[in-house]
Amino acid sequence: MLYLHHYYEPGAQITLNLRSCDSDESARSVQATVVKSYTPFTLSQVLLLDINSPLPDFLPATTTNFILKVYDPRFLQHRQGTKLSAPHPWTLAAETTAARRRAFANLPTWWPDDSDTAGWEEYYHANLQQMFKNELAAYTRLLSLQGQSIPRCYAHGTLVLPSPSKRMVVPRVLLLSYVPGPCLRSVNPSRVAPAVARALIDTVRAFGTLGVIHDDLRPDNIILSPSDAPSRPFVLDFGNAQVRADESEEDWEYKLVENDEPKLMEMTLDKLEIDHSL
């Protein structure tokens, strides 16, 4: 069974090694206080943090509240089991075995047998590592949209696990701006102006132009801000994103047409009975 580890509880003090997304400077040790954990955790663990003084120079001095995404496979919701998979609770022994195997060879990451506990640890580890890479790459590609229609990505790095820790996995993290507001699913449709809905569709279209397919567009991943008078949509969670690499213009255009995320966004708004007409 998953549980809220003590270093994710409100009031907990955590240490991060962070590197600015805007420079190649060395990682800095940063202390923070957990304000809130957004539970239940599903894939990454999402925390609201208060960064302790002094703030590093790559963070804005006007706020101390930030969102931290932690990519720790120990707390994946999938471990509880699904219709296709038995429960796979975390154990230090299985994680250690997987890590030792990984140090000597590139391990397969396809669907393991239920009895292969180390195989499941490797499967979970590889998936979380890929999600971190996807998200960081997407935020880098979408730099021009940061702070406007997606959160700002300030830093990336690792979570320093409390001592003593025998774990061989060092969880990766992203530090993002905190965007307060309700998710699209929980907002009364009458409170969403057509212009706001159209801005959301235009944002999704801009993703494709800039080389990103979100691949997980759903109401829970869209925040309307501010809370009292929603006027700006923010799209979150790029863990499943496809980021253009060496595709030709023709191949990338084919992917955009195949996914057609602007149309998907329109269909989502229609389902929620939110007007997006011009």
Architecture label for domain 6-75+120-177: 2-Layer Sandwich (3.30)
Banded pLDDT at 108 (limits 50, 70, 90): low
Residue 236 in this model has a pLDDT that exceeds 50: yes
Banded pLDDT at 3 (limits 50, 70, 90): low
Name the CA dihedral angle for 58, 24, 151, 240, rounded to a multiple of 10 degrees: -150
Residue-by-residue DSSP string for the chain:
-----GGGSTT-EEEEEEEETTS-PPPEEEEEEEEEE-SSP-SSEEEEEEEPSSPPTTS-TT--EEEEEEE-GGG-GGGG--SSS------HHHHHHHHHHHTTS----S---TT-HHHHHHHHHHHHHHHHHHHHHHHHHTGGGBTTTB--EEEEEEEEPPSS---S---EEEEEE---S-BGGGS-GGGS-HHHHHHHHHHHHHHHHTTEE-S---GGGEEEESSSS--EEEE---TT-EE--S--HHHHHHHHHHH-HHHHHHHHHHHTT-----
* Residue from 49, 63, 53 nearest 11 by CA: 49
Render pLDDT for 222-234 as a digit per residue (tens, 0 to 9). Answer: 999 988 888 999 9
Residue 235 in this model has a pLDDT that exceeds 60: yes
What pLDDT sits at residue 210?
98
Alpha carbon of residue 20 to chain centroid: 17
What pLDDT sits at residue 33?
97
Q: Where are the domains of the chain?
A: 6-75+120-177, 184-271
Render pLDDT for 5-23 as a digit per residue (tens, 0 to 9). Answer: 889 999 999 999 999 998 8
Banded pLDDT at 73 (limits 50, 70, 90): very high
Residue 150 in this model has a pLDDT that exceeds 80: yes
CATH for 184-271, options being 1.10.3470, 1.10.510, 3.90.228, 1.20.1440: 1.10.510
Banded pLDDT at 164 (limits 50, 70, 90): confident
